[in-house]
Amino acid sequence: MSLLIDVILSPQGAEYRAIRRALNQINSYQFKILPIPMGVNSLTDYLQGKRIEEICQTNQPKVLIMGLCGSLSPQYDIGNAVIYQDCIYLTPEKQISSTDTYLTNYIYQKLSQKVSLVTGLTSDRLIFSIAEKWQLGQLTKASVIDMEGFAALEILQQQGIAVAMLRVVSDNSRHDIPDLNQAIATDGRLQPLPAAFAMVKQPIAAARLIKGALQGLTALQQITMELFRE
């Protein structure tokens, strides 16, 4: 499997560290893992110039995007792993981009019954309320939501890079989470103090967010080991 992947991209912070922990338990792997910023605009800036050159060091490079996501459907709960077939981005007109069919199917078959094929939605802000999750799910028919997927697909595929996307649900569609949008800096980093302040204002939602994140990160680490274990 490692021969099919040249680079893993994962949101910086806890998601990146969970994947690194999993890979450190594997005897050997020959691909890179790079941390990426959170959010469409930050990721777009990151993937320009030298970062694209770093990813494109092999002929016809293959990239796997890994991380957490939120659910827009009761069908997908915390800890469920999903692999994207398509990714939607809502502008005045709905845009949709598809992942690489061969790479996606290869990963899906490797993981057997442990993942589901889905359509994902990328948002340029954190969606935190039940009402908006339900509304977006009904509007787009997407099953899960993230903050990077569509931008990564569009930019990388324009460079001839094959892209697959594997994520784990850490936030279900049945509960609110704290509004952390003001805590996300322009460089895509989550700022600890503003995040803590937002969580203090909504302690029940914050406890739910933390519990879901821990479950999601554990599942992300497990699915990474499953995927790359020989």
User: Cα–Cα distances in Å, from 9 out to 33, 43, 166, 188?
Assistant: 6, 11, 10, 14
Give the phi and the psi of residue 189 in degrees, each rounded to 5.
-95, 145
- Whole-angstrom Cα distance, residue 4 to residue 25? 19
| pLDDT for 27 | 67
Residues of the chain with pLDDT under 50: 1-2
Per-residue pLDDT tens digits for 4-44: 888 999 999 999 999 999 998 886 677 889 999 998 888 98
Predicted confidence at residue 180, as pLDDT, reads 86
CA dihedral for 106, 110, 112, 115, sign (positive or negative): negative
Residues 33, 37, 38, 39, CA torsion sign? negative
Q: What is the structure's pLDDT at 74?
A: 95
Domain ranges of the chain: 2-228
Task: Give the helix/strand (H/E) hosting 64.
Answer: strand 62-71
- Architecture, CATH, for domain 2-228: 3-Layer(aba) Sandwich (3.40)
What span, in angstroms and rounded, lies between the C-alpha atoms of 81 and 220? 8
Neighbours of 89 (CB within 10 A): 21
The whole-number pLDDT of residue 50 equals 62
pLDDT at position 227, please? Answer: 93
- Cα separation, 198 vs 209, in Å, equals 12
Supply 57's token pair: 């060091």
- Give which of 54, 41, 65 is closest to 144, Cα–Cα: 65
